[in-house]
C-alpha cells in the first residue's frame, strides 16, 4: 500500500535538467555546471534522487533516498556521493517549500528550495558555528526535462 505522506512528493518524480551555479568554490566566478537528475519511486515508500553533474574534471554523482518515519511524522533523507560522503537529513516538504537539514558535529548544512510544477530553485548552505550564521555553498536549479 502506498505511503500517503510520501505520495505528497509525487510532483518531484521525473527527469530534470540540473544546473549548479553561484558556487564559492568554482572558478571563474559565474561558472555553471550542467547535469541531470532522475527522481523515481522505489516500492511504495521511497523516492530515489540521482543527480549527475558534468564538471571540468569529469562527472560527479550524488544520490538521495527519501523515506518516512511514520511514528515520528517526519521525512528522512539519506545522501551519498562519489567522494564517499554519507549524511542523514531531516526533511520537510509542504508542496511549495522543500528543506533538508543536518546538525552534525563537523558542521551544519541545509538545502532550501522553492518548488514549482516544472522548476525547483534551491540552494545549499553550510554553518560552521552550529547554525548561528550561514554561507551559501551553491545554487541548484532543476527544470523538468
Domains and CATH numbers, the chain: 6-144 (2.40.128.20)
Provide CB contacts within 8 A for 51, sequence distance 6+.
Answer: 18, 35, 36, 37, 61, 62, 63, 64
pLDDT in tens, 59-87: 899 999 999 999 999 999 999 999 999 99
Q: Which of 30-39, 56-65, 119-128 has the lowest mean pLDDT?
A: 56-65
pTM here? 0.92
Provide CB contacts within 8 A for 121, sequence distance 6+.
Answer: 113, 114, 139, 141
- Which pLDDT score, from 0 to 100, does residue 56 have? 66
- CA 36 – CA 21 distance, rounded (Å): 14
- CA 97 – CA 84 distance, rounded (Å): 28
Please state whether the peptide bond connecting residue 33 to the residue before it is cis, i.e. omega within 30 degrees of 0.
no
Q: What is the mean pLDDT of residues 34-62?
A: 92
- CA 14 – CA 66 distance, rounded (Å): 15
- Which pLDDT score, from 0 to 100, does residue 80 have? 98
Considering only CA atoms, which of 94, 141, 91 is closest in space to residue 118?
A: 141
Amino acid at each position: 500500500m502506498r505511503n500517503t505522506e510520501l505520495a505528497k512528493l509525487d510532483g518531484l518524480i521525473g527527469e530534470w535538467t540540473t544546473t549548479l551555479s553561484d558556487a564559492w568554490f568554482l572558478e571563474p566566478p559565474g561558472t555553471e555546471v550542467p547535469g541531470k537528475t532522475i527522481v523515481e519511486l522505489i516500492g511504495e515508500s521511497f523516492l530515489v534522487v540521482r543527480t549527475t553533474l558534468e564538471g571540468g574534471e569529469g562527472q560527479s554523482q550524488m544520490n538521495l533516498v527519501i523515506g518516512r518515519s511514520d511514528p515520528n511524522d517526519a521525512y528522512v533523507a539519506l545522501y551519498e556521493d562519489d567522494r564517499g560522503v554519507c549524511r542523514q537529513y531531516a526533511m520537510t516538504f509542504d508542496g511549495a517549500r522543500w528543506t533538508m537539514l543536518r546538525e552534525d558535529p563537523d558542521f551544519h548544512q541545509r538545502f532550501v528550495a522553492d518548488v514549482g510544477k516544472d522548476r525547483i530553485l534551491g540552494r545549499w548552505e553550510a554553518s560552521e558555528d552550529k547554525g548561528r550564521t550561514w554561507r551559501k555553498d551553491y545554487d541548484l536549479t532543476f527544470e523538468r526535462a
